[in-house]
Structure 1
Amino acid sequence: MLIGKRLSGRYKIIDMIGGGGMANVYLAHDMILDRDVAVKMLRLDFANDEEFIRRFHREAQSATSLAHPNIVNIFDVGEEDDLYYIVMEFVDGNTLKQYIQQNSPLKVEEAIEIMKQLTSAISHAHHNHIIHRDIKPHNILVDHDGNVKITDFGIAMALSATSITQTNSVLGSVHYLSPEQARGGMANRKSDIYSLGIVMFELLTGRLPFSGESAVSIALKHLQSETPSVRRWNPNIPQSVENIVLKATAKDPFHRYNSVDEMEEDLRTALDPDRLFEPKFIIPIDDEATKAIPIITNDKPLKNLDETIVHTSEKNTGSSGGTSDSKQGKGANKKRRKWPIVLTSLLVLLVLLGLSAYFVPGLISAKDVKIPDVSGMKEDDAISKLRQQGLTIDKRIKLTDDEIEKGSVIKTNPEADTVVKEKSKVTLYISTGKEKYELSDYVGRQYDDVVRLLDNQNFKDIKKTEKNDDSEPGTILSQNPSGGEKVVPEDTVLEFEVSKGPEKIVLMDLTQYSVKAAQDYAASVGLTLDASQEQYNETIPRGMIISQEPKQGTQLQKGDKVSVIVSKGKEEKPPREITKEITIDYEPPLPGQPGQKQEVRIYIDDMNHNMSVPADVFSITETTTRQIKLIIVEGKKASYQVFRDSKVIAEETINYNDVE
C-alpha cells in the first residue's frame, strides 16, 4: 500500500487519484517545498523492461525542459525500490475527456479557445524538438478556470521506441492515432497535428469520428476512411471551422498543416466574418494515382522518368540479342520491380485468410437467423432466448453500467438485429450495476483535502457535522460509510464527523471578585489563574481583583492562563506633623496677690495621645509661651486643649489635609 509512503524522503503519498493501463497517479505532498504534487507511478510490468526504463528516464528528463502555461510541469523523475515515477504539477480539475462527456457538444467559440491553447502548447514542444505522439483528451487536464494543460510527454515518447504492448493502452489511444502510426511508421510533428484534429472533432461533436469493435478495425478506418463532416451533427458549425478539422486529419501528411503554428493561426482567424462561408477544404485529386501507365517497348523512347516505374513483359522486350551488360541490368531491374508486387500479393493473401477465418465457418450453415434484442433481460432469460434462435453463447463479459441493473444484459456482439448463420457465437455483455468506488479511510485527514479529492467522483452529497475535540480543527474524526467499502457514488451520501478543535471557554468578568472566588472559577472550567501581581487602588478594596488579561468574553481553551491584578487597598500616606505655639496668660486670682502659682494642663488627641491623660502639666507664675507638637494620621484629625486651673483657655482641631 503506497498511501503514506514517502518517495525519496520527500514526496508523501496522500491518495490515489487516477490510473490507466500504464501507470497510476497519486496525490502527494512535497515536504520540502510544502506544495501538493501529482506522482505518476509506472506499473511493475513496465519496470522490468530495461530499454523502456532507459528511454523513459532520458525522455522524461528532456520533457522537464518544457515550460509553458498549457503544459503540465514535470518537477522530478526518480526510482525507489523498483518503483519508477514522475513528479509533476498537480492540476485540480478534470481530464478533457471528462469535460467533453459532461459538457458536449461544446460551443464553437469554446472549442476554438481550447484548441488555441493546445496548439500553443504543442508548438512549444515542437520548437524544442519534442513530439508528443499520444495526444488525446485523456492526457489533457482542465482546471476550474477553464485552462487546459497537456501531460504525459515523457511517457508517450518512451513508449514510442519500445516493444511494449499494452492492450488497454492501445485501445485508449487508437481513436486518435495518425495513419502513419497505425501502419507502424514513426510519429512526427504532423502525427501530432492529426491527433489534434481528432480532438477538435470530438470537442465540436461530442463523439469520435471512427469507432469499431477492435483496435485494428479502428486503425484501418484511420488508414482508409475519410474524416466525417462535423457539420453532419451540427450544421451551425462554420465551414471555416470544419476546414481546420479536415485539413488536420488528412490521411496523407503532405496535405495537412505544415506546422502546428500554421494550424494555430488558422484557429485564430476561423471565426472572422470573411471566413465563415469559405469553400470546403478538399484534398487535391492525385491524377497520377489513376493514370494508365503505357507499356514500354524497345522501339518506343521513354518520355519521362516516371514511366520507368512499370516495365513490359518478356514477350514485348524486343530482341534478346543485347549485350550481357544490358541483360544483367534488365534482370536486376526486373527483380527490383517484382518486390512491390510480391509484398502487395502477400498483404492481399493475409487479408483474404483473415476474412475467410472469420466468415467461412458461418457460410457452411445454410440457415440465416437474426440476433434478438436481449438488452435489459436477465442473463438466464437472454441465454435461453438466444439458444432458441439456434445461437451459441461464446463469452460473458462483465461491465459496469449506469442504467442496466446488475445481472441483466447490456448488449450483444454481434449487435441485435444482425443477421448471422445458425450456431454463430454470440458474446453477452452483462451488467454488474453501477460502477463502484472504494472508499479510503479518511479518519485523521483534513476534511477540505478529502472533499477536494472526492469532488470528481460525483457523490450524491457530502455532509459534515462538527464537534469539539482535542485534535486540530478540520480533522475527520469518523466517516460513514467506512473506509474500504465499495459504493456507487451517485447513490451515496458521505457523512463526516469533523473536529472543531478543543471546546472554547468564554472568559467571564473577574473584576470585583475576590482572589478565592476567581481561583474557584478557573479550576471549574480548566483554566489556570495567576494572581501574583498586586497594586494599590483608591476604590477597590484590598484582596479584590482590579483587572484581568485576557479581557472578558475572550475565547480560551482548557489549560490557558488568566492573569489578574489584585488590590492592596488604598496606599497609606505618611503621618503629618505640626507644631503650634501658644501663649498662656498668667491671671492672678486676686488683686494684690502676685506670685501665686497657677496650674496648667495640656491635653492632646493625635496619633500618639488621647484626651484621657494630660500630655503636659506645669505651673506658671507669669505669662508663658509653650509649643505643642501634633502628629496627624491620613484621614484623621488632631486636637489640643489647654486648662489653667481647670479653666479652658485654648483649644483647636486640625485636619490631616490642613497640614502642608
Structure 2
Amino acid sequence: MKLTEKIKNFKPKEFAEDVKKESLKTISAIDNNKKPFLLVAVLAIALMFIICWVTFFATVRGPEQVMVPNVEGKELTTALLELQAKELYPKIQLKYTDNPDDAGKILNQNPISGSIVKAGRRINLTVSRGTILDHVENYIGQKYDDVKINLQTMFTGSTRPLIVLAEPGYKSDQSEAGTILAQDPPEGTIISNPVTVKLIVSKGPEFDNTRIPNITGISFEELITTIATTKVVFDFTAHTATGNEKEGVVTSQEAQESEFVPNYTRINAELSLPRTQKPSEVLGLFSANLPDYPYAVEMTLESSKDGIKETIIKLRHTGGNVTIPYIAEKDSELLLSIAGRVVARQTVD
C-alpha cells in the first residue's frame, strides 16, 4: 500500500485505541516480572558485597602472633635485641637494688616468657639501676644521729642494707657532743658487699662545767626557757600545791657544793601542780624511761590534737629518766621525739 493511501485511510481514533492496548500489555508484562527483577537485583548486590569482603580479608592480614622470649637476668642491650627480633617493643622502668652486680640487668618482665602475643605488643621491663650507694662516704665532722637517720632512710625496705653502723665508740673531744671524729673503713671504699662502718663519736669536752641555774619560784615560761638552754639535767617530781604554796612553780631544787658542775649533771627538783586544773588546759609533768645516752641528744616535746601539733620545748638530755613540765590542752597527746622519731607518748588528762 502506498503511503498516500495509508494516509487517506488513517483513522486517529483507532490508532489511539491501538496504542492504549499496547501500553496496557507492556505495563502488565512489567508487573508480572517485578518480583523476579527485584530478587535478581538483591542477589546481585549481596554477591558484590561478599566478593568485596572476601577480597579485603584475603589481602589485609592481621599482626603475626609471637612467643615472648625470656629476658629476665639478661643485660638490657641483649634483651632489646631479642625483643626486636620478635617485633616486640619494651616499656622500661628503673629500680634500685641491693646487689651492685644487678646494674643494667632485667629484674622482671610482663608478660612473662612463653606468653603468646601479637607482634607490636609492648613488654614491661624492670631494669636495675644498681645500688643507691657504691662507695663509703665521708662521715667525719657530721652528727652521728644525722648519719644514722640518713642511712636508715636510704635503705628503708631493703632486705640487705649495704652500710651497717656498728655500735660507736666515744671519746672526749673539744668538738660538740655527737660529732663523728673518725671512721673505718675510710671514705671512698668501694661497696661490693654489705659494709659495717665503725665510728668514733665525740662526748664533748671532758672537763666542761656549767653554772647551776636557780629555778625555784620562777614563772612557768621562765622555767621552760631555762630547761631548754641549760646544760644541767633536772629530774622533776611533782605534788599538788598545799597550804600557801604557789601553783605551777618549782618549790625546791637539790643543793650542790659548788655553783659550777660538769655538763649535764642531774639535779633533783620539786614542782607544785595546781589544786584544780583548768577545764581545757592542764599543767602537768611528762615522764618517760629511755636508754642512757653517752652524750646529750636533742629532744622535742610536742602536743598533738586533731592533727595539729605544737612544740612545747626543745632541750638536750642524756636519757634515762626524762621528766619535763608542760602546759597542754586537755585530751591532747604528748609526743617526745629524738632526731624526728617518736620515742615516748603520754595522754593529757
Same fold (TM over 0.5): no
- Structure-2-length-normalised TM-score: 0.32
| Higher percent of residues as helix | 1
| Higher percent of residues as strand | 2
- Structure-1-length-normalised TM-score: 0.18
Q: Per chain length, whose mean CA-contact separation is higher, i.e. which structure has more relative contact order (CA < 8 Å, sep 6+)?
A: 2
Structure number with bigger Rg? 1
